[in-house]
Amino acid sequence: MKFSLVIPLAPERNAEILDSIKKLNYPKSDFHVIVVKGKNPSDNRNRGAEKAKGEIIGFLDDDAIVDEDLLKNVEEFFNEFKDIEVVGGPQLTPYDERGFAKLSSYALSSKFGAWNLTRRYSKGNLNLNADESFITSANLFVKKEVIDKIKFDPSLFPGEDPKFIDDVKRYGFKVAYSPNLILYHRRRPTIRGFIKQIFNYGKVRPAKESFFQTLKMPFFLIPSLFLIYLIILFGSIIFNPTITGGVIGIENNINYSLIGLLWLFPLLLYIFISLSFSIYDSIKNKDYKAILFLPFIYSLVHLSYGSGMIFGYIKKLK
């Protein structure tokens, strides 16, 4: 058998992905599906992999829709690049998404919204030396010999897939990204769910790696640093401490001195960039009403991730 498709599923959820798997343009006798229910996605994937009969194990999320040519394209990729052991593809937004889910997808695929992680959420170029910024376990295909040696870490969620990819590369296996391996992934439909998702992404970073490892990818630290800056800035405005020299405070009017402007400059720059990207991303996605909402969603991404990472470091110190 060529493929085993492993789908981790929380007990209270339904596997929407099964409907599209039935429509795959690939011989039904050459793949089988393993749905593993449980609260821990890493444990579900590991248990599913143990039951796998295929040469290649595909890990897919339950709330996704697979492109009908996905398995055909995976097979063609491994036939062309025989020295690659792991490959993943983009998790695009379904065409039928509406409301907040659709708007948040614009932010996730925006350079300002998610920096290099946008490569997970949009079609890019072929990369034969990919890392966690390109692929996730929502759309990941692994040769059986890899999963026999490397497992998903049950102590991490979310963040188990970046850790898995790092472990795979450290072991010496080759990881790639192919834009032809397309899967459509549902986005969080509510603001609360979205904040929780991004907060958890930030929270798990300190558990996944040391601070010095994170320093090698400094863009992960910028949201936390910006949040700390905002706390200091607004604290100075409210309490008017000596840190601002009294130039920023709640008085009859604000004294826009040079020092005060320097303190405000990062915030003003952030607002300017946010508004500029909201226009750009709205035009790119041909959804002009998004201009009104994207600055708010960008800030949700940055502040949720930043606060999550700070929480993660505090938790790590205990």
Write out the DSSP string of 107-150.
HHTSHHHHGGGHHHHS----BSS--TTT--TTEEEEEHHHHTT-
Q: Give me the sign of the Cα torsion angle 196, 197, 201, 202.
A: negative
User: Considering only CA atoms, which of 143, 123, 122, 135 is closest in space to residue 77?
Assistant: 143
Tell me the CATH class for 3-189: alpha beta
Position with higher pLDDT, 262 vs 245:
262
- Identify the weakest region by mean pLDDT among 137-151, 162-176, 223-237, 252-266: 252-266
Extents of the domains making up the chain = 3-189, 194-317
Residue 160, pLDDT score: 85
Task: Report the amino acid identity of residue 251.
Answer: E
pLDDT at 36 over 60: yes
| Greater model confidence, 288 or 13 | 288
Given a cut of 70, is residue 240 above it in pLDDT? no
Q: What percent of the chain has pLDDT over 70?
A: 92
Q: What is the pLDDT of residue 285?
A: 93
Give pTM, 2 decimals.
0.84
Q: pLDDT tens-digit profile of 90-119? A: 999 998 999 999 999 999 999 999 988 888
SS3 content of the chain, % helix, strand, coil (to 5): 55, 10, 35
Those residues with Cβ within 8 angstroms of residue 76's Cβ, 6 or more apart along the chain or in another chain: none
Bond into 162 cis (ω within 30) = no
pLDDT at 257: 57
For 9, which DSSP code?
E
> Is residue 251 scored above 70 in pLDDT?
no
